[in-house]
Structures are given as structure tokens and as C-alpha cells.
Amino acid sequence: MRIAAVITALVVLAGCVPEAGRAPLAPLATGGPAGTCTGAPQFEAPPLNTCSGPRARLAFVGDVLLHVQMQDHGYKVGFGNIWHQPARYLRTADVAVANLEGAVAPGVAQDGTIGPDPGPGVDIRVYTGFPQFNYHPVVLRDLAAAGVDLVTTANNHAMDRGSVGADMTLAEVAKAGLAAVGTVPAGAPRDFVHRRATPAGTIAFIACSFSTNGLPDPKRQLLRCFRDEAQLTALVRREAADPGVAGVIVLPHWGVEYRTSPSANQRALARALVAAGATAVVGTHPHAVQPFEVLTSPGGGGAPVVYSTGNFVAIQDFMPSKVGAMALIDLCRGADGRAVAERAGWIAMEMLFTDRGYWAEIAPKGAEGRTGRAEAFLKRVAPGFSAQPPACTR
């Protein structure tokens, strides 16, 4: 009885399905996915705002959630095989964003001791999966090679290797040529903003998390979406009022796991963020895609809200978690010179598990049967916002 209670507590604490106790996947070969999608996204939704000038495309994918099976496979054959198909759209975006769900802390064991880096591989001491994730830096290099520019470190696994792990993660992100938003180094000012130049002007990114899974954050390195809501909205207002900033994108890690609809708290915070001046809000955490909607901004325009993009890659071979969305938001300048969202939409992806490996697959618009399952599912969850490409090869 006591053991069962401990296991239950661990599942609640981690907020992710553990790999332990699941049926093992078939042995995986070293081959990657065949083919890719080459067609341009086809936006179903009409323009959200009237604007002109240079456009900037932002691409957002959800949780990079690497349980031990996926880590083991990626360390052997390269993580680029896993996200080969989405990479085409990440590379062509002006800014591509992913949620880094776990630490990247070389040599830091789960008990907090620091030793030599054992190298890329799952040793179940330093590099681990559920319930406290830690990845080798090669993961970051493969994300950068796929076109990711910015990772969010604000999530419920931000403190999986404690304060030192949070610091090391930021250092490794920088070494890989990526930027991070959502956590700050120990002792640094709590200014959770990353500014990035785009063709549509400088965009400020702000990220927050609802939780740390109960792990302590003694140096307050993480911005909390609800506990720190006053600071969060103040940051949005500050950036929105800055003449050097064209737009503000907020990236909250929030919501109820495995739910395809947002909670009342998510909806209330989204309204508060848009009222404070957010150009768009794009969420993660539920391991399920949640609806897209458009809220009215203070200036009268439309601000897209993506309540959850779901997983990007994960060993969660069940619905709704095996289906994810790549959210695309095209920005340009509105009548007042500020950046606004011209278009918003999703590209549906599904994690495939085969004897050749596993990867995030994108199928062409209108595909039928199994290959069209992800698009059909997203059409039900987030209707009216498809941007599925018309052509893919296998």
C-alpha cells in the first residue's frame, strides 16, 4: 500500500507519463523517416489584421520530452532523424521556438552530485528520463541544426537538476548557438524577457510556468504564470510600451494534462495578457493540442491565442498525446506601426513508432486513413486554423 502511494505521488509530481511499466517498444533500426513535406503552408483562417511591410514568420512546437527510449535512440542515430520532417518548416521560419522539457546539465546526477560527463547515453544516473529529466547537450545541437532558434526553459521540469542544473542548462543552450527564455541564472535580475530582431521589428518573448513539480526554486530563477501574474503582466505592459519593441509573444506553460480544452485559469490569464499588450500567446504543457482562438487586443485588432501546441516529440503512444501542432504566426506592421498577427494556423504532426525508428510525421492536407489522422484530429480540436501543406513525399 505504501509502495503504491509512492508511485502515485511520483506520477503526480512529474506530470508526465513514465516509461517504467509500459510495454517495451519494438527494437529500433537506425533508419530515419523517408521523405519530407515540401509544400508551403495553406492557411485556412482569413487574415486576422490588416497590415503592411515586411512579414516575419514565427513557428512554435511543443514539448521536447525525451523519455529514456527516445534518448537512447537519439544518442545512437541522431535526434535529427526524429524531427527530420518538421525541420523543413522550422528552418524556413524567421524565429522557431521549442519547449525544452528538462535540464541539460552535463555530469549532474539526479541526487545533485556533480561528476564527469559520462557522454551521450542513458546511464540512469546523470542522463535520465521520468520523473526528473536530464539530457546530453547533443540534443541542443540537433535542435539548432533543425532550425530551432529559441527554447523555453520555463516549465515544470525547469528545476529537475536544481539551481545548478538551471544555470548549466542556460550555459549549454548558449554554447549550442540557441537562445533561452523563461529562467534566469542564479542571482541575476528577474527579467524574463528575450528580445529578437525580425523582419517585422524587434519581438519580445516572455515565458512562464505554472509549476516546478514541487521542486524548490530557492533563488527564484523561474517566472511563475499564476503566482507571479502581476510581474508577468507588468513585463508585458513594459515591453508593449517600449518604442523599440514591435510586438510581444508570451509563452505560458499551463493547463491540465491530456485535456484538449483550456481551463478557466488559462482563459482568464490569456485575456489578461492580451489586455496588457501581448501580440500573441502560445502555450504548452498539457501533452495535448488545445484550441486556437483570436482575442480582441486593446487597439481593436485580433491577437491569436494557442492554448497548447501539445507535444513536439515524446514517448506517449496514445491519443491525444501522440498528435502535436506546429503553430505558425505571421507578423507584420499594423496601422500604428506595431507588429500584429496577419495569419495564424497549425501544421498537424503525429509521432510514429515503427521497426525503422520513430519520428514526428507530417502528412499532406487532405490525407486519408492513418496518414490523415493527425490533421483530422486537429480539425476537431482547433477548427478553422489548418495550415497543412498540400504536398509531402514518402
Residue 349: what pLDDT?
A: 97
Q: For the stretch 10-28, what's the b/e string if a residue is b when 16 or more beta carbons lie within 10 angstroms of its beta carbon?
A: eeeebbbbbbeeeeebeeb
Residue 8: what pLDDT?
A: 33
> Locate cell 506530470: which residue?
15
Q: How far apart are CA 26 and CA 16, in angstroms?
A: 22
Q: How far apart are CA 101 and CA 82, in angstroms?
A: 16
> Locate cell 489522422: which residue?
373
Residue 356: what pLDDT?
A: 78
Closest of 241, 327, 324 to residue 277, by C-alpha: 241
Low-confidence ranges of the chain (pLDDT < 70): 1-35, 393-394
Sheet holding 201-209, edge to edge: 193-198, 201-209, 247-253, 280-282, 302-309, 289-296
Q: How far apart are CA 94 and CA 108, in angstroms?
A: 34
Closest of 286, 264, 278, 239 to residue 101, by C-alpha: 286
Residue 17: what pLDDT?
A: 53
Residue 29: what pLDDT?
A: 57
The percent of residues in the chain predicted with pLDDT above 90, rounded, is: 86
Question: What digits encode the pLDDT tens for the residues 281-311?
Answer: 999 999 999 999 999 999 899 999 999 999 9
Residue 4: what pLDDT?
A: 34
Question: What digits encode the pLDDT tens for the residues 76-112?
Answer: 999 999 999 999 999 999 999 999 999 999 999 999 9
**Strand duo 302-309 + 289-296: pairing:** antiparallel
Outline where the chain has alpha helix (H): 2-14, 68-77, 84-91, 138-145, 162-175, 229-241, 264-276, 373-381
